[in-house]
């Protein structure tokens, strides 16, 4: 009994001592954790770790990828709270995507971490490229590749490549092809961009989707306008090189080489072509409301009988005739191009001398110029009203409003008329505005 | 046939008395339940995490059961000398091996069924307890912008548990499927087929070696079987490096032929692995070589044939074994 009590006491004491010691050590450890920064990377991976991990995971690659994925999320947050260096995480995403090649979020999130946050856009793109190859049935990775290349890297060629990949994917929504066409046009690839938007229009007619038709027409109008402006811009450069001065009117450009025997798409021909083939196939016609704001369809082409070729005879949908419409819209000619709105082009001389102005703001229509003038007038009136409120009276002159001589000329060719008595301002060319 | 069934049932009864089996089962169920928790840590694709972990657990714990229970089955009969009472009866040794095999396979399949039930229940429960789903069920909009609670959170949870269990059973028997669980049951069936091969190996090794060695051999078979396709690629790389098979010499030639022979002998367990296909859904393009269907006859015939062959081999060895 006595011996048993002694043994029990010794064991109890031993337990209390050892366990107490363990609790103390654990407490020390936890204190150390608290004093450290909230995140400490203990697991950095070297290049091609995924290959080794794939072997080690046996057939449980996807589970290994999931755990690594959770670790990557933690690592992203941890690095964000400490050194903000996300670059070493590339190998982690590479390993995840080696283990689970169809893990789409790993590619897109990896691109966000490495590219957007880590400022290594090219490496981020490498992940998206890998994703585009591996997940060959979805558009998401190539689409994000397009987005990053176009908007972050301004690498139009790469963006167009990713775009071409994205639109081939079966799940790519319609707007992806529109975005790709937009980038094509933006990169000066007018033929390709125009062709893609013609595809959108034919698809819209086939599926009887007025919204899609309207968007396609609007984008086609924009594309042709950009195309025309690009040609006019080249002609302006040639004029400036030859004469040493800026052109004063659009007619000054007509003799320039860039405006001789050039090929361009015409809205009037496009509309005529689309309309005659909708009739030919018995499809729903483009409504007058849809055509509002665009040049009238070319009557000659509209009334021409449809050529009986193997393509037109076999065609069942407008989509089958996309290439025909595309070719019929193109025309070779000389002189000032036809504006898709139907109004003639004029020069916005004020903007020509300013740096960084888009060509579409220089070669405009009379209507555009009036709109521009109205906007400018509105802005000047707001500035006068604001200054009036500050002074408690009407400004004596425009110098008192803008603190400098008001040099901007009135866009429509006249001059500004300011009345200090009532604080009103007008344009001499349009006094009623 | 009756004798085989009697031995199989007896084996099953014996196996369910094994505590290791319960430890493994409880651990597997805990992991599946835990998968629902860790999926919340992911910023996207939480269902993917649950599916990956659930399907992998079913496969891996099935393998562990085959190893830890299977390798003792024949050994115990020999160790306890009960084999003498069996072989002295009009039971063929092949019938004995068949009985043991089917008994163990039945044990594994019962466990797989339990794990699958829990797995589907976890998936359905998580789907029904997603924030937006719960809000829709718990609150009703009486007037624009004004919501009233229509049922208690706990009542909803309780209802969801039972509903998830019901849905889970329905999915297992093929009467209820949603996008969430589409194709998963077929993956489980394919896993079950691969486990039949592993079970046959466990029985085969246990006919001539100790439990420890049998466990090691079965595990190695599982590892090599899982790496089969990588070993082929390794062999191809060796040949490519040498400039063709005919240029291989010495150690390289030995390594190449050893690898080639090995991958033709061991079972290719990757054939049965359809997890990726089921988790991501079958792609809508014709690329059968990359994405085999979830169930295909060729693999089923291969699995059954391979298993039968190994059981035959086990019987052959066991028939000639001297118990003295």
Measured between alpha carbons, how far is A135 from A65 in angstroms, rounded to an integer?
A: 16
Q: Cα-flanking dihedrals φ and ψ of residue A368, to 5°?
A: -60, -40
Q: How far is A262 from chain B (nearest CA, A)?
A: 43
Please check whether residues A350 and A277 belong to one and the same domain. Answer: yes
Q: Both A81 and A216 in a single domain?
A: no
Would you call B38 and A70 a contact, using CB atoms and an 8 Å cutoff?
A: yes
Checking B276-282 for CB contacts under 8 A at 24+ apart, the result is B276/A62, B276/A100, B276/A102, B277/B183, B277/B187, B278/B51, B278/B55, B278/B182, B278/B183, B278/B184, B278/B186, B278/B187, B279/A62, B279/B48, B279/B51, B279/B52, B279/B55, B280/A102, B281/B182, B281/B183, B282/B183
The pLDDT-based confidence of B279 (bands split at 50, 70, 90) is: confident
Contact yes or no for B271/B232 (Cβ under 8 A): no
pLDDT exceeds 70 at position B283: no
For CA atoms B160, B162, B165, B170, the dihedral sign is negative
Region B10-16: mean pLDDT is: 87
Tell me: do A335 and A201 sit in the same domain: yes
Q: Same domain, yes or no, for A250 and A392?
A: no
A331 within domain boundaries: yes
CA distance B220 to B265: 13
Report which of residues B17 and B307 the model is more confident about: B307
pTM: 0.71
Indicate the residue of A69, A102, A109 with minimum beta-carbon distance to B276.
Answer: A102
The answer on pLDDT for A14 being more than 80 is yes
Residue A46 has what pLDDT?
64
CA distances from B183 to B36, B174, B179, B283, B306 (A): 20, 10, 9, 13, 25
Question: What's the average model confidence in pLDDT over B101-111?
Answer: 93
**Residues B71, B215 contacting (CB under 8 angstroms):** yes
Question: Cα-flanking dihedrals φ and ψ of residue A264, to 5°?
Answer: -155, 160
Shared domain check, A247 and A125: no
Can you give the CATH number for the domain in which A56 is found? 1.25.40
| Residue A242 forms part of a structural domain | yes
Please write the tens of the pLDDT for every residue from B310-323: 999 999 998 888 77
Pairing of the two strands A262-265 and A330-333 = antiparallel
Tell me the DSSP string of A312-352: HHH--SGGGGHHHHHHHHEEEE-SSPPPTTSSPEEE-HHHH
- Among residues B101, B318, B71, which one has the least CA distance to residue B208? B318
- Angstrom distance (rounded) from CA B296 to CA B272: 10
How many angstroms separate the CA atoms of B243 and B278, rounded? 39
Picking from A58, A63, A66, the nearest residue to B223 by CB comes out as: A58
Those residues with Cβ within 8 angstroms of residue B265's Cβ, 6 or more apart along the chain or in another chain: none
Nearest CA distance, A321 vs chain B (angstrom): 27
Report the pLDDT value the prediction gives residue B18, as an integer from 0 to 100: 81
Distance, in Å, from the CA atom of B125 to the CA atom of B232, rounded to the nearest integer, reads: 42
Separation between Cα atoms, residue A200 and residue B5, nearest integer Å: 67
Q: Check pLDDT > 90 for residue A51.
A: no
User: CA A409 to CA A416: how far, in whole Å?
Assistant: 7
Residue B56 with chain A: CB contacts under 8 Å = 60, 62-63
**Among B190, B181, B174, B179, CA closest to B293:** B190
Going by the DSSP 8-state scheme, the letter that residue B291 receives in this structure is: S
Give the model's pLDDT for residue A41.
57
pLDDT of residue B204: 93
Distance of alpha carbon A361 from alpha carbon A369, whole angstroms: 9
pLDDT at A406: 66
Q: DSSP of A166-225, one letter per residue? A: HHHSTT--HHHHHHHHHHHHHTT-HHHHHHHHHHHHHHHHHTT-HHHHHHHHHHHHHHHH
What is the reported pLDDT for A90? 87
Q: How is residue A116 annotated by DSSP?
A: I
Q: What is the pLDDT of residue B288?
A: 46
| Bridge partners, residue A387, by sequence | none
**What residues are paired with B23 via a beta bridge?**
none
Q: Look at residues A129, A145, A172 and tell me which one is the last residue of a structural domain.
A: A172
B279 contacts in A (CB within 8 Å)? 62
Distance from CA of B143 to the nearest CA of A (A): 34
A348, A272 in Cβ contact below 8 A?
Answer: no
Chain centroid to CA A203: 22
Residue B303 buriedness (CB in 10 A; 0-12 / 13-18 / 19+):
buried
Q: Concatenated DSSP letters for B99-160?
A: HHHHHHHHHHHHHHHHHHHHHHHHHHHHHHTSHHHHHHHHEEEEETTEEEE-S-HHHHHHHH
Which residues from A are below 8 Å from B when comparing CB atoms? 54-55, 58-60, 62-63, 65-66, 69-70, 73, 100, 102-105, 109, 136-137, 170
- In this predicted structure, what is the pLDDT of residue A329? 93
Angstrom distance (rounded) from CA A164 to CA A186: 15
Q: Outline where A282-320 has alpha helix (H).
A: 288-291, 299-303, 310-314
Q: What is the pLDDT of residue A48?
A: 64
Tell me if A349 is assigned to some domain.
yes
State whether A62 and B270 contact (CB < 8 Å).
no
Average pLDDT, chain B: 88
Q: Based on the domain organization, do A96 and A194 belong to the same domain?
A: no
Residue B159: the pLDDT is 94
Has residue B292 got a pLDDT over 90? no
Report the chain B residue with the minimal C-alpha distance to residue A59: B226
List chain B residues with CB under 8 Å of A65: 52
Give pLDDT, residue B191.
Answer: 94
Whether the CB-CB separation of A163 and A130 falls below 8 Å is answered with no
Mean pLDDT of A357-376: 86
ipTM for the assembly: 0.86
Position A410 scores a pLDDT of 75
A39 pLDDT above the threshold of 60? no
Structural element, H or E, at residue B206 = helix B184-206
For the cut 80, the answer to whether the pLDDT of residue A357 exceeds it is: yes
In Å, the largest CA–CA distance within chain A is: 123
The residue with greater pLDDT, A308 or A83, is A308
Place B285 in a pLDDT band, splitting at 50, 70 and 90.
Answer: very low
Question: Do A157 and A249 have their domain in common?
Answer: no
In a domain, A7, yes or no: no
Same domain, A193 and A281: yes
pLDDT at B286: 47
Residue B282 has pLDDT above 80, yes or no: no
Nearest C-alpha of chain A: how many angstroms from B83? 37
Beta carbons within 8 Å of A183's beta carbon, 6+ residues apart: A146, A150, A156, A159, A160, A163, A193
Q: What average pLDDT score do residues B76-86 get?
A: 82
Q: How confident is the model at residue B161 (pLDDT cuts 50, 70, 90)?
A: very high
Query: What is the DSSP-derived secondary structure letter of residue A138?
Result: -
Query: What domain range includes position A136?
Result: 26-172
Cα separation, A160 vs A187, in Å, equals 9
CA distance A246 to A236: 8
- pLDDT score at A111: 93
Contact between residue A54 and residue A99 where contact means Cβ atoms under 8 Å apart: yes
Q: Is residue A119 part of a domain?
A: yes
Note the pLDDT tens digit of each residue in A65-76.
999 999 899 888
User: Where residue A87 falls among pLDDT bands split at 50, 70, 90?
Assistant: confident
Q: Do residues A352 and A344 make contact, with C-beta atoms less than 8 angstroms apart?
A: no
| pLDDT exceeds cutoff 90 at A325 | yes
B43, B218, B287: best mutation site toward chain A, by most A Cβ within 10 Å? B43
Please say which residue of A105, A138, A172 terminates a domain: A172
Chain A positions in Cβ-Cβ contact with residue B285 (cut-off 8 Å): 136-137, 170
* Nearest alpha-carbon partner for B227 in B259, B188, B184: B259
Contact between chains at B45 and A109 (C-beta distance less than 8 A): no
Confidence check: pLDDT of A135 > 60 = yes
Q: Which residues of A79-108 are buried (b: 16+ CB within 10 A; e: fewer)?
A: beeeeeebebbbbbbbbbbbbbbbbbbbbb
Handedness of CA B90, B93, B95, B97 (dihedral sign): positive
Q: Which residue of A has its CA nearest to B269?
A: A59
Report whether A291 contacts A267 (CB < 8 A).
Answer: no
| DSSP secondary structure string for all residues of A210-227 | HHHHHHHHHHHHHHHHHH
Helices A190-206 and A267-281 cross at an angle (nearest 10°) of 30
Measured between beta carbons, the chain A residues lying within 8 angstroms of B276 are 62, 100, 102
Domain total of chain A = 3
Residue A425, H or E segment: strand A424-427
Out of A114, A147, A172, pick the residue that ends a domain. A172
Give the model's pLDDT for residue A78: 83
Work out the average pLDDT over A408-427.
Answer: 81
- Based on the domain organization, do A328 and A191 belong to the same domain? yes
Using the predicted structure, report yes or no on whether residue A1 has a pLDDT greater than 70: no
pLDDT in tens, A95-130: 999 999 999 999 999 999 998 888 889 999 999 999
Residue A5 lies in a domain: no
Q: A50 and A125, same structural domain?
A: yes
Contact A100 B276 (CB under 8 A): yes
Q: How many whole angstroms from its chain centre is CA A283?
A: 33
Using a 10 angstrom Cβ sphere, with 0-12 exposed, 13-18 middle and 19 or more buried, the burial of residue A334 is exposed
Same domain flag for A319 and A359: yes
Among A154-158, A386-390, B65-69, B294-298, name the one with the lowest average pLDDT.
B294-298
pLDDT of residue B324: 66
Q: Is residue A336 part of a domain?
A: yes
Distance (Å, rounded) from C-alpha A61 to C-alpha A323?
A: 47
Among candidates A126, A121, A132, which has minimal Cα distance to A162? A132
Give me the pLDDT at residue A287, please.
Answer: 87
Which of A66, A69, A105, A135 would best serve as a mutation to test chain B binding (most B beta carbons within 10 A)?
A: A66
What pLDDT sits at residue A187? Answer: 82
Q: Is the pLDDT of residue B263 over 90?
A: no
Task: For residues A123 and A166, state if they share a domain.
Answer: yes
Span B158-185, mean pLDDT? 92
Q: Is A418 strand, coil or helix?
A: strand
What lies within 8 Å, CB to CB, of B307 at 6+ separation is: B196, B197, B199, B200
Kindly state the percentage of chain A with pLDDT values over 90: 41
DSSP symbols for B148-197: EE-S-HHHHHHHHHHHHHHHHHHHHTTS---GGGTTHHHHHHHHHHHHHH
Which of A46-50, A165-169, A425-429 bottoms out in mean pLDDT, i.e. has the lowest? Answer: A46-50
In a domain, A177, yes or no: no
Using the CB atoms, write b or e for A203-222: b if 16+ within 10 Å: bbbbeeeeebbbbbbebbbb
How far apart are the C-alpha atoms of B85 and B322, rounded to whole Å?
Answer: 15
Give the span between the Cα atoms of B50 and B122, in whole angstroms: 8
Distance CA A204, CA A331 (A): 24
Evaluate if residue B271 carries a pLDDT over 90. Answer: no
What does the alpha-carbon distance between residue A374 and residue A367 come to, in Å, rounded to a whole number? 10
By C-alpha distance, the chain A residue nearest B44 is: A105
**Per-residue DSSP letter, A420:** T
């Amino acid at each position: 009994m006595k011996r048993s009590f002694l043994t029990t006491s010794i064991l109890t004491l031993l337990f209390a001592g050892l366990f107490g010691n363990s609790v103390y050590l654990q407490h020390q450890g936890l204190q150390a954790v608290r004093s450290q920064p909230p995140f400490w990377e203990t697991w950095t991976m070297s290049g091609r770790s995924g290959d080794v991990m794939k072997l080690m995971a046996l057939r449980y690659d996807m589970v290994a990828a999931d755990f690594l994925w959770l670790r990557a999320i933690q690592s992203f947050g941890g690095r964000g709270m400490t050194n903000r260096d996300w670059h070493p995480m590339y190998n982690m995403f590479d390993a995840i995507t080696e283990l689970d090649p169809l893990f789409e979020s790993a590619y897109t999130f990896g691109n966000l971490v490495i590219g957007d946050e880590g400022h290594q856009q090219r490496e981020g793109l490498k992940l998206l490229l890998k994703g585009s190859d591996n997940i060959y049935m979805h558009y998401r990775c190539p689409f994000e590749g397009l987005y990053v290349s176009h908007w972050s890297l301004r690498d139009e060629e790469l963006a167009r490549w990713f775009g071409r990949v994205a639109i081939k994917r079966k799940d790519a929504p319609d707007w992806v092809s529109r975005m790709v066409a937009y980038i094509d046009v933006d990169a000066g690839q007018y033929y390709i961009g125009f062709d893609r938007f013609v595809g959108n229009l034919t698809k819209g007619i086939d599926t009887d989707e007025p919204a899609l038709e309207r968007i396609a027409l609007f984008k086609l109008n924009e594309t042709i306008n950009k195309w025309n402006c690009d040609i006019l811009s080249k002609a302006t450069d040639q004029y400036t090189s030859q004469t040493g001065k800026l052109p004063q009117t659009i007619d000054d450009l007509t003799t320039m080489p860039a405006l001789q025997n050039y090929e361009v798409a015409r809205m009037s021909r496009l509309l005529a072509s689309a309309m005659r083939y909708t009739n030919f196939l018995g499809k729903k016609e483009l409504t007058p409301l849809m055509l509002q704001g665009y040049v009238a369809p070319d009557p000659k082409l509209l009334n021409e009988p449809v050529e009986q070729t193997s393509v037109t005879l076999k065609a069942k949908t407008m989509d089958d005739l996309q290439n025909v419409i595309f070719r019929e819209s193109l025309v070779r000619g000389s002189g000032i191009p036809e504006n898709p709105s139907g109004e003639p082009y004029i020069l916005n001389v004020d903007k020509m001398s300013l740096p960084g102005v888009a060509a579409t703001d220089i070669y405009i229509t009379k209507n555009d110029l009036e709109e521009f003038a109205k906007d400018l007038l509105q802005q000047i009136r707001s500035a006068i009203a604001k200054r009036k409120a500050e002074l408690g009276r009407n400004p004596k002159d425009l110098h008192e409003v803008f603190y400098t001589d008001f040099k901007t000329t009135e866009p429509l060719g006249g001059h500004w008329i300011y009345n200090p008595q009532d604080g009103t301002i007008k344009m001499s060319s349009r006094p009623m505005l | 046939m009756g004798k085989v069934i009697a031995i199989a049932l007896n084996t099953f009864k014996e196996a369910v008395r094994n505590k290791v089996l319960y430890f493994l089962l409880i651990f597997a169920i805990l992991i599946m339940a835990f998968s629902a928790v860790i999926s919340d840590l992911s910023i996207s694709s939480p269902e993917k995490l649950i599916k990956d972990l659930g399907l992998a657990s079913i496969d891996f714990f099935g393998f562990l059961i085959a190893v830890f229970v299977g390798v003792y089955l024949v050994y115990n009969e020999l160790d306890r000398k009960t084999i003498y009472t069996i072989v002295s009866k009009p039971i063929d040794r092949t019938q004995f091996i068949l009985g043991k095999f089917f008994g163990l396979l039945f044990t594994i399949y019962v466990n797989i069924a339990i794990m699958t039930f829990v797995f589907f229940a976890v998936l359905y429960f998580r789907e029904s307890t997603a924030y937006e789903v719960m809000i829709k069920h718990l609150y009703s909009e009486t007037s624009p912008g004004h919501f009233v609670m229509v049922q208690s959170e706990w009542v909803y949870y309780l209802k969801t548990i039972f509903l998830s269990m019901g849905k889970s059973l329905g999915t297992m028997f093929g009467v209820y499927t949603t996008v969430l669980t589409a194709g998963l049951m077929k993956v489980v069936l394919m896993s079950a087929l691969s486990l039949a091969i592993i079970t046959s190996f466990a029985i085969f090794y246990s006919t001539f070696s100790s439990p420890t060695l049998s466990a090691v051999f079965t595990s190695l078979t599982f590892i090599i079987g899982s790496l089969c396709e990588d070993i082929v690629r390794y062999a191809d790389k060796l040949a490519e490096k040498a400039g063709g098979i005919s240029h291989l010499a010495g150690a390289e030639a030995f390594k190449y032929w050893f690898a080639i022979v090995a991958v033709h002998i061991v079972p290719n367990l990757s054939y049965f692995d359809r997890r990726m296909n089921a988790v991501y859904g079958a792609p809508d393009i014709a690329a059968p070589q990359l994405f085999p269907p979830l169930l295909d006859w060729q693999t089923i015939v291969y699995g059954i044939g391979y298993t039968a062959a190994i059981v035959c081999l086990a019987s052959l060895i066991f028939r000639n074994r001297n118990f003295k």
